[in-house]
Amino acid sequence: MTRPKGTLIRNSTGTRLNHWLTAACFVLLVLSGLSMFHPLLFWMSALFGGGQWTRAIHPWIGLVLAVSYAAMIVQFLRDNLWSKDDIAWARTIDKVLANEEEGVPEVARFNAGQKMVFWSMTLLIPVLLVTGIFVWDYYFESLTSIETQRYALLIHSLAAIAAIIIWITHVYAAIWVRGSMRAMTQGYVTPGWAWRHHRKWFRSLAATGSLTNCSKPLHRP
């Protein structure tokens, strides 16, 4: 797909495919996991062919998610390193939520909120993977005790709840900030969007000559 003239590449095709594969796996894991979490939610197992199929496919989807997210870590690690600017940005979160620009520090490719999502998932997904392996009866039942499995299942459930809350926050923020979804669906943003929401990133692109083809005015998102 050819991006409109004057726009900026935010995410490459490979990055977007990686992101949506991770997102799809996460949604499938949430649905299959919730169906096994409580009898009232068991009806969700019909989406996977029944209880037995749900129990069988859930851990395999988890493995795909772990590999897919590992690829995202490789791509986004450098841009998610914490800096003092992130602390300053977090202190002005009230202005950010009110869409006020005055007094809000300039943001690089990702703001502090996005970095918190990244690092939270970077912590939670390995926890979910390890605890999930402990309760994967088909392959590892004989290697773990019942008590270990109970503790692993408790930790797995708590980590899953935390991950779901973070995912909901991530989706809400992406929808709330107009233009963010397009960055991950079509890969591009306007110069105005970059200037308003990620001004330091915009300046870095300008410094490297990546704005040569941009002709749209900066004040228009």
Structure tokens at 157: 């459930």
- From the number of C-beta atoms within 10 Å of its C-beta (0-12, 13-18, 19+), residue 122 rates as middle
Q: Choosing from 19, 58, 170, 197, which is the catalytic residue?
A: 170
Q: Tell me, yes or no, if 170 is annotated catalytic.
A: yes
CB count within 10 Å of CB 17 equals 12
209 backbone φψ class: left, alpha, beta (φ>0; ψ -120 to 50): left
**Sign of the torsion angle spanned by Cα atoms 175, 160, 129, 132:** negative
Residue 65: exposure state from Cβ atoms within 10 A (0-12, 13-18, ≥19): buried
Catalytic amino acids?
170
